[in-house]
Chains A and B, each alone.
Chain A
Amino acid sequence: MTADDARRGELKPIMDAAAVERALRRMATQIAEDLASRGEIALVGIRAGGVPVARRLARLVAEAEGGPPPPIGEVDITLYRDDLYTGLEKPVLGETRIPFPVEGARIVLVDDVLFTGRTVRAALDELMDYGRPRLVRLAVLVDRGHRELPIQADYVGRRLETELSDRVVVVHGGDGERDPEARVELGRAGRGRP
């Protein structure tokens, strides 16, 4: 990528639809091996990017295991954020929907990109307000590093070396279960910027 490309903010492809599919399938297999054999599990996607990933993972876990797909929940972490009053316009509140009892559940928290870890921290706090899960694991499609909190993913589709100022873009398409347009791209800011 040339400097001109960077200045125009062009995106460099990291994973195409097939690569995303392979990564999710590998994660699903691991999840099924680790957890499904030990009883019911549930997937909770972090809005907005984690929700389609959770849907696809649920289908793949069911395929790997041969049973019905696990229940899926969604959390909107806006009210749990630690940066609400840092001067950004307030985000529109999304809905949190957890259609199963959290108390005692085995939950895989799902997001598309793991970065500072603050979003996961907020999602964990919110989950705990719904009850006391038996265990919580974390699955992410991309881990781009630069953690600011001691949080690590248990299941990772792809580890990516990035600059702090880079943008990682996960594109979702299709119906969430099958996604021929899914891809991951990297936007690199111009050189010399912090």
Chain B
Amino acid sequence: MRKRLFSGARIVDPARGLDAVADLLVGEDGRVLDVGPGLRRATGSAAGGEVEVVPCSGLVLAPGFVDLHVHLREPGQEYKETIETGGRAAAAGGFTTVCCMANTQPVNDNASITRFILERAAEAGLCRVLPIGAVSAGMRGERLADIGEMRAAGAVGFSDDGLPVMDAHLMRRALEYTRTFGAPVIAHEEDRCLGCHWAMHEGEVSTALGLPGIPGAAEDVMVARDIVLAEDTGGWLHVAHVSTARSVELIRRAKERGVRVTTEATPHHFTLTHDAVRGYDTSTKMAPPLRPPGDVAAVVRGLADGTIDCIATDHAPHSRVEKEVEFELAANGVIGLETALGLTLGLVRAGHLGLSQAVALLSTRPAACFGIEGGRLAPGDRADLVLFDPDAELLVDPAQGHSRSRNTPFGGWTLPGRVRRTVLLGRDTFSGVPDAGV
């Protein structure tokens, strides 16, 4: 590979507090060689035609986005998504690293599945895929999965996501056992005793719609339980898709006490309220459900003040068979890789976040949260990059998406920002058609 010079971009590298117009030079090994102003003149005279120059004026150049929470459905549900189609959606959304959940068929509860996922991801070559192993064998909540072997094979965390670990004893043991491997237990917090067969958040909207609800307390009591268990075991708890004000507050207090707890929030939970369910659009159905405005505001505050470590999409593709049905029967989940940037920039436009903060929540902070290499642009770092136009707009058309599924509640929305190019170890994994002037 030739060296590549990304020239004249607004480089945002939150890890170093950098936000300035400069050039970035990528070496033949796909790593950052140099960052600074005037590199074009230096390399232009020295290296001549051996450097490919990528003009980037007007664009933001940031570390490639890192998503700690996606569902790629392979193996087993390739009609919804594959590692390749999911990778393409990730690249189109500016992501260079995604961590995929274990609820495939069969469940990723042993090293052979973990290796299979890594092999398929390498073949696709669209983004770095880091598997998350199951906490319990078959995600049945009965006995621990092969955590040590999966860790050795490359798993970055352990989760029965999609299902809560209802057995407190199993959760305690998982938090203890994973300490050895330095990986988090990622918890889907939902007390199923407080709401079985629920379809949305329990509140005035569920009452108006006549849909069975689940209270916010079902998330909160599990977050509280798991914080207590993490505190006692010294294990690492990562709360997936936090969605209520009280859970955010519980995590804030736990962090202050020094409990090893991290968390993430999804774009749909910081953007939509439960009012979006009116009309019974099944693409507004997910777990945890969309919450009332007070919860949404608390999630936004949590992102702004750092209580919530990062943004994760919980990209959950489903086909029409799972979604074109009665609301109560519809599968939980929405796709999110291609709308994450726009919705996050929505928080910037609304004044809740600065641009550098937004970039950090999508790249630097999730990478740091799981201890994954990436999310930084210093010399020697992986040249995983995203180039986006913060002033362009994206009209969301689910039919034009790169995912195999279309289940987004944002169809027809106009979102700020457009990804122009995504770069994985120096190579383009996505390059969009510019509207004008790029």
A and B touch in the complex (CB under 8 A): no
Enumerate chain A interface residues (CB-CB to B < 8 A).
Answer: none
